Amino acid sequence: MYIVLIGPQGSGKGTQADRLVNSLGVMKISTGELFRAERAAGTELGKLVAGILDAGELVPDDVTIAIVESRLEEVDRGAALGAVFDGFPRNLSQAEALDVALDGRGAAIDHVVEIAISEDKLVRRLSGRRVCSNCGAVYHIDHAPPSVPGVCDRCGGKVEQRADDTPEAIRRRLAIFAEMTRPLLAYYAERGIVSQVDGDQPMEAVEKDILSIIQDGSGAA
Ligand code: AMP
């Protein structure tokens, strides 16, 4: 099964993708997380993308598609029962490349779920967001802090604010989302695979809505 989550930064896509990994046995393919891991490891790719990430701009499509392809090859080798995409595709050419990659595997995207959320809530979430620099676990200083401040509950890694959660980079990323990513909903809607969930709810309720869409087709907007 292949699922695409679409929503602006702070809508909870990453958290929901983690939950789907547990409930459906799919692989999470989060291009943002993959790039941050490359940067933390100091690889050539990491050095190439560091400045782009900090500015909130998009990494070139060929680089992004290559990193997704390498994860899909792990799915091919039986590592998971499909994938949930978080932060990919982000524009039309990535969406087309994903279609080609899945088609070559005799597969297709089964569900596209839009996580809708008000802008006010988004800004509050993003400014309080903290992320483990080692495993990518997401926290919030007000309603989901780590048990020990600054230390990841999951792996003991350092929990910090993302370099691109600054007001300028947040604004840039939201503008890119509105210009390039939101239009993908129309691209997928033609296939009748798009549903919307209310992202302004507690994360358990959002997960329940997503699972009901995936498992029995209900809850679609
Ligand atoms: P995210 O964690 O999804 O907010 O992504 C963080 C940053 O990684 C973005 O602001 C981009 O610089 C880069 N990035 C993540 N996914 C993509 C993508 N699909 N295409 C291009 N750049 C991406």
Q: What are the tens digits of pLDDT across the range 70-97?
A: 999 999 999 899 999 999 999 999 999 9
Q: What is the mean pLDDT of residues 175-187?
A: 93
Ligand 1 atom with the shortest distance to the CA of 49: 12
Tell how far the Cα of 216 is from the centroid of ligand 1, in angstroms: 31
Tens of pLDDT, residue by residue over 21-64, are 999 999 999 999 999 999 999 999 999 999 999 988 999 999 99
Encoding tokens for residue 206?
């959002």
Q: What is the mean pLDDT of residues 161-175?
A: 84
pLDDT: which is higher, 193 or 127: 193
10 lines ligand 1 (CB under 6 A): no
What is the model's pLDDT at position 217? 61
Q: What is the mean pLDDT of residues 162-189?
A: 89
Q: Give the catalytic positions in this structure.
A: 13, 90, 129, 162, 173
**Average pLDDT along the chain:** 92
15 lines ligand 1 (CB under 6 A): no
Ligand 1 atom with the shortest distance to the CA of 173: 10
Question: 9, 90, 180: which to mutate for ligand 1, most atoms within 8 A of CB?
Answer: 90
Q: Whose CA is nearest to atom 10 of ligand 1?
A: 56
Tell how far the Cα of 110 is from the centroid of ligand 1, in angstroms: 22
Tell how far the Cα of 178 is from the centroid of ligand 1, in angstroms: 14
What is the model's pLDDT at position 219? 41
Q: State pTM to two decimals.
A: 0.87
pLDDT: which is higher, 167 or 24: 24
pLDDT at position 138 over 60: yes
Tell how far the Cα of 199 is from the centroid of ligand 1, in angstroms: 20
Range name among 74-83, 145-154, 159-168, 194-203 with the lowest pLDDT average: 159-168
